Structure 1
Amino acid sequence: MADTKKLTTSWGAPVGDNQNSITAGNPGPTLIQDVHLIEKLAHFNRERVPERVVHAKGAGAHGYFEVTNDMSKYTKAKVFNGVGKRTPVFVRFSTVAGELGSADTVRDPRGFAVKFYTEEGNYDIVGNNTPIFFIRDAIKFPDFIHTQKRDPRTHLKNPTAMWDFWSLSPESLHQVTYLFGDRGIPLTYRHMNGYGSHTFKWVNEKGEAVWVKYHFKTNQGVKNMDPELAVKIAGENPDYHTEDLYNAIEKGDYPSWTLYVQIMPLEDAKTYRFNPFDVTKVWSHKDYPLIEVGRMVLNRNPENYFAEVEQATFSPGNLVPGVEPSPDKMLQARLFAYADAHRYRVGVNHNLLPINRPRVEVNNYQRDGFMRFDNNGGGSVNYEPNSFGGPTEVSEHKTTPFPVSGMAESVPYDDDDHYTQAGDLYRLMSEEEKARLVKNIVESLKQVTKEEIKLRQIRHFYKADPDYGRRVAEGLGLQVPDDVITNA
């Protein structure tokens, strides 16, 4: 018989009794000198870190990424170079709007975040299961998320607020059409695609740069869930997607995705018919075909959900040499906001946690802060420049220069075409898909308490495609406003 492990306190002292508190006689009262009891209760009160403001509910898994097509022509990022090269990854899938205990099968975008543990540091691709987003300037993000969360008065979800915001933000139409279509509720996390969504810059060893977009295509095939079944499952098994991912990996049915990229020459961005940095738009695959990069496989479940999933932190600012940001306004803000959220939620030293720690040596002059649990740099020099052999910059990895010009002012995007791509998406759908899209939208808009909001949204649908607008209007028992028909 194996030796039984001794139960200890957090400071390593053996525990003599873990079933009974120390009391003054029988029945008590309990004595405050029972430090083991006090420690257990105090730690229990602090077991939860604040949940994520968005993407609170999620599941994660470990795996690897293997290069199948060398990308050194376009980027010096080693993670994408060398056919057969494998890099460990950790992936987190999530819903967006719900709380930590919410249902998996709601109509909502899904987060799709990948952490590559590369030999040049961690590289995070932090995207969704949609190639686009609702807004394109982060100054609107807090307002948008407030409409997706609970009403401050009723503490209930508020469809009126949701549609009010969307109807006043026509750039959301493309994503709204995507969300209320079949892909708004994936069958499982394994049966959905993932996208980097933003445009990034790739730079090769010669310093030559291109614009790039990421597409993770599921090898299980895209499969979606019927809304009525989704509602039923939400009540019976709110953790359905979490359970499915865990069980599939546990039985050896490892899900995989093939990573593709679209490549755009830098000069094309100046003349392309859509702003290539606008995250509410896509690039045509005819103009910029998908190029295969590699295959991602998830083959190991976490041993501890809190340590590996809840404490996992991702940021689009976690870049490696050969990958740089673009002028995308949403991306620029996310470079700050994500890391800042982690400093608040998990702590300033969140990157030291095992799930987030790079697999390479880290050398910098950052010291101290809450929960610094390594040797804190020991006795090494903590400033730079210095005369004591401390780490110094590597000049060949400076970010490539790019020109900027113009007045410093609050300016909108100069592209107000919010309708072409949303209409194209609608026209790509089969008659059955269109019918389901309209049904889903109508059922949601029926909950809106103000007719003005419904009519304003109908105008947007009509501008995208007259049939789209007419069918939503008919479903709501309304007429398409005359002014939008006249000006169409």
Structure 2
Amino acid sequence: MTHKEKHTRITTASGKPVYDYEDSQTAGPRGPVLLQDYFLHEKLAHFNRERIPERVVHAKGSGAYGTFTVTHDITKYTRAKVFSEIGKETRTFLRFSTVGGEKGSADSERDPRGFALKFYTEDGNWDLVGNNTPVFFIKDPKKFPDFIHTQKRDPYTNTKSATMVWDFWSLSPESLHQIMILMSDRGTPLSYRHMHGFGSHTFSFINAENERFYVKFHFKTQQGIKNFTDEEATRMKGIDPDQAQRDLVEAIDRGDFPRWTLKVQIMTMEEAATYKWNPFDVTKTWSQKDFPLIEVGVLELNENPDNYFAHVEQAAFAPAHIVDGISFSPDKMLQGRILGYPDAQRYRLGANYEQIPVNRCPFATNNYQRDGAMRVDGNGGNKPNYFPNSFDDSFADEKYREPAEPLGQHVVADWYDRNGVGENDHYTQPGDLFRLMTPEAQRSTISNIVGAMSGISGPKRTEIINRQLCHFFRADMGLGMAIAQGLGIDISQHAGALQPH
């Protein structure tokens, strides 16, 4: 056996052995390249197609496989098999991400962080797609494209614009709660390992008796919360823009497996009907005094993907992917994401994106979807591609029917004001959050806000700043005054905002 036969032979994509990998076939040693050098064409053509469309949001991310282990019994709330017994283990894949930046942006940007978790359960894949914050900037999906546009690039300058950001926020008072979190040091986590994760939205649990409960998911980091200061985060952008990615890979490689404790808040249907906040408003939290955290289990990340593109870049998450025992709620933003997220994945990866290994359900799947680009599972073979039919025994299983969900008195379709009466207190929770901060955290948050708002420019600068200051004043008098002072604004202009609301 020769030396070369001991190693793997290089071939074309169709399997033909390659004679020369590095030199093109030419007419003579200095002559032009021949059209018949097919492998040259294959290499260049594939190279031109190596990039798939990057995600519109959450473009830059890191991911790892792991295990979720149940430690406490919650079967009285849900029949989901993933929670069926203490000690049960379920394989998972978790992707972290920044939100607003492009794929090449820095990991330490001031930004929410995505926390998208896929459970490979025997009842199908369950995607819990959230962030490292329990709330969001908006509560109606019709506002989502506009909001994201403000986080991207100005169509004239093609640069990030503080003016766009604060103009939108100042005109969307429901954003204030998330702004307060983002502008604290929680907006610049030290690493993905040192932050919490949240489902953010309100979801449903359904138990064996077909009873519905509303639920919020909290993943509490066992590594402890650690954040950069604004100065440290800015410096890290230049030192290592891939710092969070590197940190996650290296921690898992050395066996320092990061862990999170999953806890849930449970609300009954009756409590939802009378709670002081709209329980389906993603700009609000549920008080943990009213709805204490209930421990469920532990998530551990313990396996780095062997190829970033195959696993992390091609990972596709959608809140539409639920399993028996877990369902949706009237949360408007969640309802919008049920539509938007799978559509984004079909655009990015194709109609058969759930056949990609990282997205594929490892248990049996059965439906009549056929054809489409990159169909790689046999396409149903010679079985019927329609239902009902006389040739197979497939059936829709009635036992998985969910209980009806009452929608209250507002059953007529209409365009309701998202900030109408009873839905327009955008200041109590942000104010409470600020007052719960330590004095040091308050100073840091104020400094970060002043720094961010100082970037507002143009003829509308004063108008935008004054409008946003009114929101801060209504949340907390001291907060508003400190920001106004930092921006050099005469607070007498805001006398109206200082009145009780």
The TM-score bracket by the shorter chain reads over 0.9
Partners of 1:45 and 1:486 lie apart in 2 by 61
Q: Is the 8 A contact 1:381 1:390 kept in 2?
A: no
Q: Is the 8 A contact 1:105 1:233 kept in 2?
A: yes
Q: In structure 1, which of residues 284, 288, 292 is the aligned counterpart of residue 287 of structure 2?
A: 284
Partners of 2:263 and 2:349 lie apart in 1 by 32
Residue 321 of structure 2 corresponds to: 318
Residue 485 of structure 1 corresponds to: 498
Per-residue CA distance 1:420-461 (angstroms, 9 max, x = gap): 000000100111111110000001111111111011010000
Partners of 1:451 and 1:81 lie apart in 2 by 57
Residue 452 of structure 1 corresponds to: 463
1:412 matches 2:412? no
Per-residue CA distance 1:343-388 (angstroms, 9 max, x = gap): 0001110000100000111100000000001100000011111111
1:130 matches 2:136? no
Q: Is the 8 A contact 2:25 2:33 kept in 1?
A: yes
Q: Aligned partner of 1:312: which letter?
A: A
Per-residue CA distance 1:222-262 (angstroms, 9 max, x = gap): 11112111111111110000000000000000000000000
Partners of 2:229 and 2:23 lie apart in 1 by 52
Residue 58 of structure 1 corresponds to: 61
Q: Aligned partner of 1:484: which letter?
A: A
Number of aligned positions between the proteins = 488
**Secondary structure class of the residue paired with 1:451:** helix
Partners of 1:336 and 1:360 lie apart in 2 by 25
Residue 158 of structure 1 corresponds to: 161
Q: Is the 8 A contact 2:210 2:402 kept in 1?
A: no
Q: In structure 1, which of residues 386, 389, 403 is the aligned counterpart of residue 389 of structure 2?
A: 386
Q: Is the 8 A contact 2:215 2:266 kept in 1?
A: yes
Q: In structure 2, which of residues 236, 256, 267 is the aligned counterpart of residue 253 of structure 1?
A: 256
**Secondary structure class of the residue paired with 1:288:** coil
Partners of 2:59 and 2:403 lie apart in 1 by 35
Q: Is the 8 A contact 2:206 2:402 kept in 1?
A: no
Q: In structure 2, which of residues 228, 231, 244 is the aligned counterpart of residue 228 of structure 1?
A: 231
**Secondary structure class of the residue paired with 1:457:** helix
Q: Residue 24 of structure 1: CA displacement? A: 1.4
Partners of 1:485 and 1:277 lie apart in 2 by 30
Q: Is the 8 A contact 1:177 1:422 kept in 2?
A: yes
Compute the RMSD of aligned alpha carbons. 1.0
Partners of 2:146 and 2:387 lie apart in 1 by 41
**Secondary structure class of the residue paired with 1:6:** coil
Residue 471 of structure 1 corresponds to: 482
CA, structure 1 residues 487+65, in 2 after alignment: closer, same or farther (shift >3 Å)?
Answer: closer
Partners of 1:460 and 1:423 lie apart in 2 by 10
**Secondary structure class of the residue paired with 2:6:** coil
| Map 1:201-220 → 2, pairs under 5 A | 201-220=204-223
Partners of 2:393 and 2:454 lie apart in 1 by 64
Q: In structure 2, which of residues 3, 13, 18 is the aligned counterpart of residue 15 of structure 1?
A: 18
Partners of 2:432 and 2:340 lie apart in 1 by 32
Q: Is the 8 A contact 1:384 1:390 kept in 2?
A: no
Q: Aligned partner of 1:460: which letter?
A: H
Q: Aligned partner of 1:321: which letter?
A: D
Partners of 1:212 and 1:485 lie apart in 2 by 36
Per-residue CA distance 1:375-411 (angstroms, 9 max, x = gap): 0000001111111124211111123212344322211
Partners of 2:157 and 2:223 lie apart in 1 by 41
Structure 1 runs of 4+ off > 4 angstroms?
Answer: none
Q: Aligned partner of 1:343: which letter?
A: R
Per-residue CA distance 1:110-157 (angstroms, 9 max, x = gap): 000100000100001000000000000010000000000011111100
Residue 356 of structure 1 corresponds to: 359
Q: Is the 8 A contact 2:267 2:291 kept in 1?
A: yes
In terms of mean alpha carbon deviation, does 224-233 or 457-466 score higher? 224-233
| Map 1:83-122 → 2, pairs under 5 A | 83-122=86-125
Partners of 2:233 and 2:244 lie apart in 1 by 11
Q: Residue 486 of structure 1: CA displacement? A: 4.1
Q: Is the 8 A contact 1:256 1:295 kept in 2?
A: yes
Q: In structure 2, which of residues 322, 340, 345 is the aligned counterpart of residue 342 of structure 1?
A: 345
TM-score, L = length of structure 2: 0.96
How much identity, in percent, do the aligned residues show? 55
Partners of 1:320 and 1:229 lie apart in 2 by 42
Q: Residue 209 of structure 1: CA displacement? A: 1.1
Partners of 2:195 and 2:364 lie apart in 1 by 35
Q: Residue 485 of structure 1: CA displacement? A: 2.2
| Map 1:266-277 → 2, pairs under 5 A | 266-277=269-280
Residue 308 of structure 2 corresponds to: 305
Partners of 1:70 and 1:31 lie apart in 2 by 69
